Amino acid sequence: MAMLTVGVLISNLTANMRSQAKVAGHRERRATVLYAMSRDMTAGQSEDEIVRSAVHHLYSEFGSRNVILFPDVNGRIMYPTGRAIPESLQAADRSVAQWVMDHNELAGQGTHTLPGAEAVYFPLSNKEATLGVLVLLPVNLRRVFLPEQQKLLETFLGQIAQAIIRVRLTEQARKAQVEMEAERLRNSLLSSISHDLRTPLATIVGSASALVEDDNALKPEDKLELSRAIYDEGLRMSSLVNNILDMARLDAGAVELNKQWYPLEEIIGTVLTRLQKRLAGRRVTVKLPPGIPMIYADAMMVEQVLINLLENVLRYTPEHSTVEILAKASASTVEISVADQGPGIPAGCESKLFEKFYRVRHEAAQSGVGLGLAICRAIIVAHGGSIRAQNRPTGGAEFSFMIPQGHTPPVLGQEQ
């Protein structure tokens, strides 16, 4: 009898120990699974990344295909778009998911609501709101609804919801930042435009009114002077408006490059002809190494870059000072520089110069919206090149831009 009692006791104890060991084993495994899951949930940088790894973890833990569905802006559950996830469930019922979304309650197989559905639908929610619905197609219902397993699934859902909220908040903050930046740009554009367009407009309206309301009091030379002011300011406005429109077109990506092979001297020649009147009185030296290859570019765009650089020289350097246009070629690039003898660039401004609406001195008499160099940079970047500003060791500023050649320039055969 004693033997029997001891035997039963021991056997009970062993069974108990075995079951305890089993439970401990389960617990350890669950801890590992949870750890892996929570590590991925914290590391995920985007909603897509989080959803992907969640689906993967759910599949490996519960052996069930599954999918997470989210509502659109109107709260209507949508099927996922984009790259399919290998473990993803394809046959979720959107109307069941919608019910779960709206009621924030469990539904589907093994539940009290819509038990006829093939899959189980879990709300994915935090305290404030339902974010979406997890649809799980159980291979074995017990594996999902065992108390331990259900607890694990709830923890999973909690972590997924938290991770999604986290990336959504980050994204919101980033968007707000971008919007703030855009707002700042808009404001700066508005203040630039209103100042720079109003000034010439004031001259035009004022001078024109003096001419219109003239009761023969104006001397002919006065009339001429007023007319000339209207003409000059009109031209200035025209160039400002062109700059603003160019920048808008470049920003919108609406510019298609018409790249062809051009001799550099033709591009420079066009620019110098165009600026001939305004450059009169300056010494312009062009130094092109003999045999410099043609460049593969959109000529009108590159001309615009040179015009903007030369207009800056006209604006910021003393009259009668020399301006040099230099070029050099390497095997795969051509570099063109415009160098002046002006005051140079204030230290630390070299890269800020190319930002939109940046001006070294703000309300200076020099006209300009601060778009010239930003346009240059946008054009050169569109060509796959780069542009930089630096002070010359001998004084003055130098702006250089590099354009990659892509392929070998064409050469003509000898004429017969």
Partner 1 sequence: MSPVASPVIVVIEDDPAIRLFLRKGLGAHGFKVFEAELGRQGIVEASIRKPDLIILDLGLPDMEGVAVIKAIREWSAMPIIILSARSAEQHKIEALDAGADDYLTKPFGLGELLARIRVEMRHSVSSPEQDQSGIFMTGAMKVDLLKRQVVVGDRDVHLTPIQYRLLSVLIKNAGKVLTHQYILKEVWGPSYRDNSHYLRIYMSQLRQKLETDPTQPQYLLTESGVGYRLKV
Binding positions for partner 1, rule: CB under 8 A? 231, 234-235, 238, 242, 245, 258, 260-263, 265-266, 268-270, 272-274, 284, 286, 288, 294, 299-300, 303, 325, 410, 412, 415
Does the CA dihedral 383-386-391-392 come out positive or negative?
A: negative
Q: Measured from the CB atom, is 57 or 282 closer to partner 1?
A: 282
Q: Measured from the CB atom, is 181 or 225 closer to partner 1?
A: 225
Residue 263 C-beta: closest distance to partner 1, Å:
4
Q: Measured from the CB atom, is 11 or 260 closer to partner 1?
A: 260
Q: Are strands 386-391 and 322-329 parallel, antiparallel or unpaired?
A: unpaired
Rounded CA gap, 31 and 24, in Å?
A: 10
Q: Measured from the CB atom, is 135 or 325 closer to partner 1?
A: 325
Burial bucket for residue 94 (CB in 10 Å: 0-12, 13-18, 19+): middle
Residue 226 C-beta: closest distance to partner 1, Å:
17
Q: Which residue has the tokens 């702006």?
A: 399
Query: How far is C-alpha 157 from the chain's CA centre?
Result: 33
Q: Measured from the CB atom, is 34 or 299 closer to partner 1?
A: 299
DSSP 113-157: SSTTSSSEEEEEE-SS-EEEEEEEE-SSHHHHHSHHHHHHHHHHH
Q: Measured from the CB atom, is 140 or 258 closer to partner 1?
A: 258
Residue 286 C-beta: closest distance to partner 1, Å:
4
DSSP 147-214: HHHHHHHHHHHHHHHHHHHHHHHHHHHHHHHHHHHHHHHHHHHHHHHHHHHHHHHHHHHHHHHHHHT-
Rounded CA gap, 94 and 102, in Å?
A: 12
Rounded CA gap, 148 and 144, in Å?
A: 9
Residue 300 C-beta: closest distance to partner 1, Å:
5
Residue 299 C-beta: closest distance to partner 1, Å:
7
Residue 264 C-beta: closest distance to partner 1, Å:
8
